[in-house]
């Protein structure tokens, strides 16, 4: 009989202000989109329950305000994160160029046990704008960046048109879960979890 255990996964969404972090989360959790721009203040989270294989998972997704610098959010905010979602706007070069900083700063603040293996996911958002004619960052350029950072999964999304949003967050959940399972094995806290992980397929199927 498969073990039933609810797992809480902490996910942090980072990226420049205005790239669509809050909109992506709203689309994913509430199936809603608003043109209105409302700056996120401080940090807030939404949760979504989902089932992955035989596991009940609560995805706790933390939203941040892009203009906030890391220090002001505090180290406790990043500690215990299971996955970090980086977002940029395919129509704004600067939002792509700052990805390096977000990536680096996250690792500095969260200081995961194995920084090289910590799971990130990159989302190139707003692909709907002007039918793609105003985009300045090519898919290839984004994918090259992902390869350079250790094969980060990449999704092109539109929070407005609900393109790839579910797929991206499912990948987030699976990746976070796989990471969390590794912790379980490492610390040997829950022996049953080892049996479960041996079923394999921990990686993201996206």
Smallest distance, ligand GDP to C-beta of residue 170, A:
18
Nearer to ligand GDP, 21 or 103 (CB): 21
Considering only residues 155 to 174 of the shown chain, the ones binding Mg ion according to CB under 5 A are none
Considering only residues 68 to 127 of the shown chain, the ones binding ligand GDP according to CB under 6 A are 125-126
Smallest distance, ligand GDP to C-beta of residue 131, A:
11
Q: What is d(CA 63, CA 47) in angstroms, rounded to the nearest whole number?
A: 11
**For strand 55-64 and strand 120-125, is the pairing parallel, antiparallel, or unpaired?**
unpaired
Query: Quick one: which H or E segment has residue 115?
Result: none
- Show Cβ contacts of residue 70 under 8 Å, excluding neighbours closer than 6 positions: 78, 105, 106, 108, 109
Tokens coding 9: 């996964």
Residue 125 contact among Mg ion, ligand GDP, none, beta carbon within 5 to 8 Å by kind? ligand GDP
Q: What is d(CA 186, CA 193) in angstroms, rounded to the nearest whole number?
A: 11
Residue 128 lies near ligand GDP (rule: CB under 6 A): yes
Of the candidate spans 14-22, 104-112, 131-139, 175-183, the one that interacts with ligand GDP by CB under 6 A turns out to be: 14-22
Site string for Mg ion, 38-57 (x = CB under 5 A): --x-----------------
Nearer to Mg ion, 40 or 197 (CB): 40
Q: Please, where are the H alpha helices in 36-91?
A: 70-73, 75-78
The partner residues of 31 in beta bridges, in order of sequence, read none
Q: By CB under 6 A, name the binding residues for ligand GDP.
A: 17-23, 34-35, 37, 40, 66, 125-126, 128-129, 158-160
């Amino acid at each position: 009989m498969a073990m039933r255990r609810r797992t809480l996964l902490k996910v942090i969404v980072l990226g420049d202000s205005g790239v669509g972090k809050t909109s992506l989360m709203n689309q994913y959790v509430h199936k809603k989109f608003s043109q209105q721009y409302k700056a996120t203040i401080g940090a807030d989270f939404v949760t979504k329950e989902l089932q992955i294989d035989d596991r009940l998972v609560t995805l706790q997704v933390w939203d941040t305000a892009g203009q906030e610098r890391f220090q002001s959010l505090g180290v406790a905010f990043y500690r215990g994160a299971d996955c970090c979602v980086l977002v940029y706007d395919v129509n704004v070069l600067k939002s792509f160029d700052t990805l390096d900083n977000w990536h680096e700063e996250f690792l500095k603040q969260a200081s995961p046990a194995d920084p090289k293996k910590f799971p990130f996911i990159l989302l190139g958002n707003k692909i709907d704008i002007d039918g793609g004619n105003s985009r300045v960052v090519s898919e290839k350029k984004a994918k090259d960046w992902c390869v350079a950072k250790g094969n980060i999964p990449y999704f092109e999304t539109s929070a407005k048109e609900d393109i790839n949003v579910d797929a991206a967050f499912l990948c987030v959940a699976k990746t976070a879960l796989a990471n969390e399972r590794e912790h379980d094995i490492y610390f040997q806290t829950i022996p049953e979890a080892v049996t479960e992980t041996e079923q394999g397929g921990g990686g993201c199927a996206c």
